[in-house]
Amino acid sequence: MTAAAEKRPIYLDCDTGIDDSLALAYLLASPDVELVGVGTVSGNTSAAQAARNSLALLELAGRSDVPVAVGAHDPLRGRFDGGVPHIHGHNGIGGVEVPEASRRPEEGTAAELLLRLSREYEGALEVVAVGPQTNLARALALDPALAGRVAAVTAMGGAALAPGNVTAVAEANIWNDPEAAQIVIEAGWKVTLVPLDITLENTLDEGDRARLLASPVPLARALGQMLDHYFEFYLPLYGVRSCPLHDPMAAAVAARGVVPTRAPAVAVEVDTTDGPGRGQTIADLRGQRRGALDQEGATVRVVLEIDRPLGPHLVDLLV
Amino acid sequence: MTAAAEKRPIYLDCDTGIDDSLALAYLLASPDVELVGVGTVSGNTSAAQAARNSLALLELAGRSDVPVAVGAHDPLRGRFDGGVPHIHGHNGIGGVEVPEASRRPEEGTAAELLLRLSREYEGALEVVAVGPQTNLARALALDPALAGRVAAVTAMGGAALAPGNVTAVAEANIWNDPEAAQIVIEAGWKVTLVPLDITLENTLDEGDRARLLASPVPLARALGQMLDHYFEFYLPLYGVRSCPLHDPMAAAVAARGVVPTRAPAVAVEVDTTDGPGRGQTIADLRGQRRGALDQEGATVRVVLEIDRPLGPHLVDLLV
């Protein structure tokens, strides 16, 4: 058997991004999964820049075999807002200069790559989506049968009971394309949503960063350098130089490096109005007071607790 | 000095209601406040039935001096939905038969009573609103200067980080008239919002009910009887016969029987769209991780923690 047959195949959809880079590195290092493709989308940075970053990081990791496709520049409705250089740096990876990759992205779009992989690994492919979900929505529009060929979708996005991070209730990935997120949520495939409730409670700190910087692994060292910028942004939130683990949490849940211990399957709906709740991921968590109760017919799990802190495990895996 | 001059004067706006009855009793028993008027609104039951209940309970307490006015039957938009007899009983007070009052409600509306009292007690009157906020919105529409004459508004309503109790995100009082709640919130007066986050965490149980039933105080005994019905509804939520203290929490915060220990002043907006978030009270609790931080210019405080459990104190006061 080939490695890809033994390991669960994963397509990563991302807006690389510092924490996207951590997620990418996590999936590359994870023993039980095989990264078989990367699609990019505008979010933290543009889809094109996210592809340049992804290609460069893959080459740094010696994994130039993983195809990378540029996906949607704009959300389904409206225009890409230019990203968040104050969080992820001018180039999306904290201003760190990683050597440009020697290869170019795939010819087709990210949606097309996802569709191709879903046929190649029919019934086995898992999707890890850590950016706005535009590519997934576009792929579903191109071929609604996609949902039936994908084994699972794990998406970083939303805020269940925690406050949002763009508005009082909206998390960035969903905020950047609420219409796409709603399409993904109601597609009927098995979605595991990894919201701010859990990602903000798992962090890296200067000790973790020092370990990454001291690693013999080039990608780990590059990640350690990126975190300098990221830590600075999060200093006011945490009071110490550190960062939440948004995207790597979705990667770790998908790769089963951490195991959700409280993740009820509940009705989830994205607010696609133009009201004050736009972009909110409304998860129906009523009735969860006496333990995690799955709602009948619900296809979306919301991860609220995991079995161990992600930070130390993440660094152990990467260095 | 008269009692009313010594004590802080309170207008109670309610949809009586079992927990409204607890709030009414709390205010009557509270040493530092003087209940100077009651207005009713449709919610738990109709505004007319809520007035009958309020009159009957006041007479039972020997307080037929407190004026009661019938307020809005319908919300600002749409129609009264008929109430929640499965929670509060067919008559709003758990099916308990309290002798009908010998007097009738005031001639004018609840909004008119509130306006009159705001002039009589100008600068001192405090409003405790434990039902849909239709009467307050109507009074503000009749006389926008009302906001400047009222010292404080304490309202039971909303769900800040906790799930809602009508929809995944909407609490009943706000759900029943979101448009009114938004008017009240943006009126510029000092509003203290008492959401499900705190009311669901403070309960009465069978021990408390037994103490009420054994009291020499007729009103306390009637409340103990009402709780039988109320406990039954909440059994699935808590797993034991008990009930949350929604409305009495607002009364206790207003009367200072409990003191908020975490109640940041933050931007609050009610979702008045027809989307999935309709009726949600969106409180901006970002940035509260490192302690309660007041947002500049915010006129609404959201009570998230109090200094002691309300239940035992409530029963002590009533029996």
**Does the distance separating the beta carbons of A161 and B289 come in below 8 Å?**
no
Q: What is the pTM of this model?
A: 0.94
Measured between CA atoms, the residue of chain B closest to residue A268 is B168
- In this prediction, residues A19-34 reach a mean pLDDT of 98
Domain count across chain B:
1
Q: Closest Cα of chain B to A28: distance in Å?
A: 33
**Does the distance separating the beta carbons of B163 and A285 come in below 8 Å?**
yes
- Let me know if B64 is exposed, middle or buried by CB neighbors in 10 A (0-12, 13-18, 19+): middle
Query: What's the complex ipTM?
Result: 0.92
B73 catalytically annotated = no
**Does the distance separating the beta carbons of A275 and B163 come in below 8 Å?**
no
In this structure, the strands spanning B203-205 and A126-129 are unpaired
- In this prediction, residues B290-305 reach a mean pLDDT of 91
Please tell me if residue A293 touches chain B, with a CB cutoff of 8 Å.
Answer: no
Written as one letter, the residue type at A211 is R
CB-CB contact of B268 with B302 (8 Å): yes
At A172, which helix (H) or strand (E)? Answer: helix A172-175
**Does the distance separating the beta carbons of B276 and A275 come in below 8 Å?**
no
Choose the closest CB to B273 out of A163, A165, A273: A273
- Let me know if B216 is exposed, middle or buried by CB neighbors in 10 A (0-12, 13-18, 19+): exposed
Q: Which of B188, B109, B104, B110 is nearest to B144 (CA)?
A: B188
- Let me know if A238 is exposed, middle or buried by CB neighbors in 10 A (0-12, 13-18, 19+): middle
B65 band by pLDDT with thresholds 50, 70 and 90:
very high
Mutation target among A266, A286, A304 for the B interface, most CBs of B within 10 A: A286
Q: For the ranges A262-271, A288-297, B155-164, B218-227, which has the lowest average pLDDT? A: A288-297
Q: Closest Cα of chain B to A168: distance in Å?
A: 5
- In this prediction, residues B36-63 reach a mean pLDDT of 98
Q: What is the pLDDT of residue B288?
A: 87
Looking at per-residue pLDDT, the higher value among A272 and A288 belongs to A272
- Backbone conformation region of residue B17, classed left if phi is above 0, alpha if psi is from -120 to 50, else beta: left
**Does the distance separating the beta carbons of A271 and B277 come in below 8 Å?**
yes
Distance between CA A22 and CA A75 in Å, rounded? 24
**Per-residue pLDDT at B4 exceeds 70:** no
pLDDT tens, residue by residue, B73-115: 999 999 999 999 999 999 999 999 999 999 999 999 999 999 9
Measured between CA atoms, the residue of chain A closest to residue B200 is A289
A1 band by pLDDT with thresholds 50, 70 and 90:
very low
Q: What is the pLDDT of residue A228?
A: 97
B287 band by pLDDT with thresholds 50, 70 and 90:
confident
**Does the distance separating the beta carbons of B275 and A168 come in below 8 Å?**
no
**Which of B20, B88, B197, B246 does the annotation list as catalytic?**
B246
Phi, psi (degrees; rounded to nearest 5) at A26: -60, -45
Distance between CA A282 and CA B72 in Å, rounded? 31
Q: Closest Cα of chain A to B286: distance in Å?
A: 6
Please tell me if residue A284 touches chain B, with a CB cutoff of 8 Å.
Answer: yes
pLDDT tens, residue by residue, B195-206: 999 999 999 999
Q: What is the pLDDT of residue A181?
A: 98
Domain residues for the domain of B140 are: 3-318
pLDDT tens, residue by residue, A167-211: 999 999 999 999 999 999 999 999 999 999 999 999 999 999 999
Q: What is the pLDDT of residue A4?
A: 47
**Does the distance separating the beta carbons of A161 and B286 come in below 8 Å?**
no
Q: What's the mean pLDDT when you consider all of chain B?
A: 96
What contacts A104, CB < 8 A, 6 or more positions away?
A55
Mutation target among B186, B269, B281 for the A interface, most CBs of A within 10 A: B269
Q: Residues A142-163, buried b or exposed e (16+ Cβ, 10 A)? A: ebeebbebbbbbbbbbbbbbbb
Choose the closest CB to A168 out of B239, B286, B290: B286
Please tell me if residue A279 touches chain B, with a CB cutoff of 8 Å.
Answer: no
Q: Closest Cα of chain B to A187: distance in Å?
A: 18
Distance between CA B199 and CA B40 in Å, rounded? 21
Q: Closest Cα of chain B to A161: distance in Å?
A: 5
A290 band by pLDDT with thresholds 50, 70 and 90:
confident
Q: Which of A22, A29, A21 is nearest to A50 (CA)?
A: A21
Q: For the ranges B161-175, B197-211, B289-303, which has the lowest average pLDDT? A: B289-303
- Backbone conformation region of residue B49, classed left if phi is above 0, alpha if psi is from -120 to 50, else beta: alpha
B1 band by pLDDT with thresholds 50, 70 and 90:
very low
A246 catalytically annotated = yes
B5 band by pLDDT with thresholds 50, 70 and 90:
low
Q: What is the pLDDT of residue A312?
A: 97
Q: Which residues pair with A242 in a beta bridge?
A: A205
With a CB-CB cutoff of 8 Å, which residues 232-271 of chain B face chain A?
237-239, 267, 269-271
**Does the distance separating the beta carbons of B164 and A287 come in below 8 Å?**
no
Q: What is the pLDDT of residue B198?
A: 98
Q: What is the pLDDT of residue B140?
A: 98
**Does the distance separating the beta carbons of B239 and A286 come in below 8 Å?**
no
Choose the closest CB to A239 out of B269, B270, B290: B290
**Per-residue pLDDT at B39 exceeds 60:** yes
A117: CATH = 3.90.245.10
Residues of chain A neighbouring B288 (CB-CB closer than 8 A)? 163
Q: Residue B144: how many CB atoms within 10 A of its CB?
A: 11
Q: Which residues pair with A87 in a beta bridge?
A: none
Q: What is the pLDDT of residue A292?
A: 72
A5 band by pLDDT with thresholds 50, 70 and 90:
low
**Does the distance separating the beta carbons of B286 and A164 come in below 8 Å?**
yes
**Per-residue pLDDT at A3 exceeds 60:** no
- In this prediction, residues A222-244 reach a mean pLDDT of 97
Choose the closest CB to B277 out of A280, A284, A287: A280
